[in-house]
Amino acid sequence: MTDTARGTSRRYGSRPTMKDVAARAGVGLKTVSRVVNGEPGVTPDTERRVQDAITALGFRRNDSARILRKGRTASIGLVLEDLADPFYGPLNRAVEEVARDHGALLINGSSAEDPAREQELVLALCARRVDGLVIIPAADDHRYLEPEIAAGVATVFVDRPAGRIEADTVLSDSFGGARDAVAHLIAHGHRRIGFLGDQPRIHTAAERLRGYRSAMAAAGLPVDEAWVSLGSTAPDRVRFAATAMLDGPRPVTALFAGNNRVTVTAVRVLAERPRPVALVGFDDFELADLISPAITVVAQDAARLGRTAATMLFRRLDGTDGPPRREEIPTRLIPRGSGELPPPADS
């Protein structure tokens, strides 16, 4: 009886619609819509009949259809470098929480640090008509987003700035954090300090290098270019670069590692060496305090980066106008031991 009322529509994979519910309850489509959406103007009796039909048929409103009609999709996209990178976990979670507070779902994906893949993913999200985007960019040219932004897709860049367009941005203070880290090493007596950084086309890597140079210059210390190595964070490359600095003609007595992955490899390299070398790493990581010596770091507040970006996004969606904004999140130096090691007496 139930099935017949809906014709053949009970076959596996198909779902009842409001039309089916209306037919079963013996009411109009709009009345079902009213009940489903809790709108007023339905008698208790009618409402109950509709509710019964909903339960009997296992109806669940198709939000895709609703979205098509309403305009807003109540979903936002988050594009980051790698969902598996622990640094982005708290950021991801923070964006999710803000989205949830605004009743939105979160679609996310990894760019794998590939500009083409970033663009493909971002445009796929735009085709799905996400209301907004939070992007940790891999590309350095985002002009491809201009038509989308003009069409109303709110966009906020986090962790790294947008390339060749003006957009809302939330960044950590990479320059200041790096400067503080190197100044800290200098204050502990170091004069030859190595910088192990990420690829120079990445904004944060460039900023951290700038902070390194600024601190060295402020202390009147010359920088031997053999002490600066930027490139992939692949362990082999970092290991090679660190070893070259430590065993070169003018060996460094301290290392500043430009991000968490570099720090991890640096820790491994230093653990194998007979004499201690000072180390400060950009980015905090779990158990940094349990390694011996405990690792001094410049900590970023990844959750706050995400929260700030998502909040900015929803503010735009709520109608806040005005020119693109840039917010900077401070970093914090956490001394734990490795950054307070003195240079060797004979250096």
Q: Is 38 left (phi over 0), alpha (psi -120 to 50) or beta?
A: left
Contact with DNA (CB under 7 A) among 70, 100, 201, 268: 70
Neighbouring-strand partners of residue 155: 133
| Residue 40-69 contact track with a second copy, rule CB under 8 A, x = bound | ------------------x-xxxxxx-xx-
- What DSSP element (H or E) covers 260? helix 260-271
- Structure-block tokens of residue 178: 């790096």
Shortest CB 96 distance to a second copy, Å: 6
Residues within window 215-274 making contact with DNA, judged by CB under 7 A: none
Q: Which of 345, 347, 332, 340 is nearest to 187 (CA)?
A: 340
The reply to whether 29 sits near a second copy by the rule CB under 8 A is no
Reading the block at residue 328, the tokens are 């900077």
Binding-site partner at residue 313 among DNA, a second copy, none, CB < 5 to 8 Å by type:
none
CA distance 197 to 192: 16
Nearer to DNA, 40 or 323 (CB): 40
Q: CB of residue 221 vs a second copy: minimum separation in angstroms?
A: 30
Tokens of 90: 């708290």
What string marks each residue from 92 to 131 as x (binds DNA by CB under 7 A) or -? ----------------------------------------
Q: Which stretch binds DNA (CB under 7 A): 30-38, 206-214, 227-235, 260-268?
A: 30-38
Q: Does 4 bind DNA (CB under 7 A)?
A: no
Tokens 């840039």 belong to residue: 326
Query: Choosing among DNA, a second copy, none, which partner's interface includes residue 43 (Cβ < 5 to 8 Å by kind)?
Result: DNA
Q: 260 phi and psi, to 5 degrees?
A: -60, -40
> Are the CB atoms for 280 and 212 separated by under 8 Å?
no
What is the spatial distance between Cα 307 and Cα 256, in angstroms, rounded to a whole number? 28
The per-residue b/e assignment along 210-246, b for 16 or more CB within 10 angstroms, e otherwise, is: ebbbbbbeeeebeeeebbbbbbebeeeebbebbeebb
Residues 34-53 that bind DNA (CB under 7 A): 34, 36-37, 40-43, 45-46
- Total residues binding DNA (CB under 7 A): 28
Please give the DSSP secondary-structure letter assigned to residue 131. S
3-class SS of residue 135: strand
Residues 5-24 that bind DNA (CB under 7 A): 14-15, 17-19
28 is a site residue for DNA (CB under 7 A)? yes
Confirm or reject binding of residue 264 to a second copy (CB under 8 A).
Answer: yes
The phi-psi region of residue 103 (left if phi > 0; otherwise alpha if psi is between -120 and 50; otherwise beta) is left
Please report how close the Cβ of residue 309 comes to a second copy at its closest, in angstroms: 15
Report the partner that residue 143 touches, choosing among DNA, a second copy, none (CB closer than 5 to 8 A by kind).
none
Q: Is 10 exposed, middle or buried (0-12, 13-18, 19+ CB in 10 A)?
A: middle
Q: What's the rounded Cα separation, in Å, for the pair 338 and 193?
A: 14
Cβ at position 252, least distance to DNA in Å? 58
In a 13 Å sphere around the CA of 270, the CA atoms on its Cβ side amount to 27
The residues with which 108 forms a beta bridge, in sequence order, are 78
**Where do we find the tokens 């489509």?**
29
Span of 122-130, 164-172, 237-245, 249-257 interacting with a second copy by CB under 8 A:
122-130
Q: Which does 124 bind (CB under 5 to 8 A by kind): DNA, a second copy, none?
A: a second copy
Q: Is 143 in the site for a second copy (CB under 8 A)?
A: no
What is the binding site for a second copy (CB under 8 A)? 12-15, 58, 60-65, 67-68, 73, 75, 82-86, 89-90, 92-93, 96, 100, 105-110, 123-129, 147-148, 150-152, 264, 267-268, 271, 285-287, 290-292, 303
What is the binding site for DNA (CB under 7 A)? 14-15, 17-19, 27-31, 33-34, 36-37, 40-43, 45-46, 59, 61-62, 65-66, 68-70
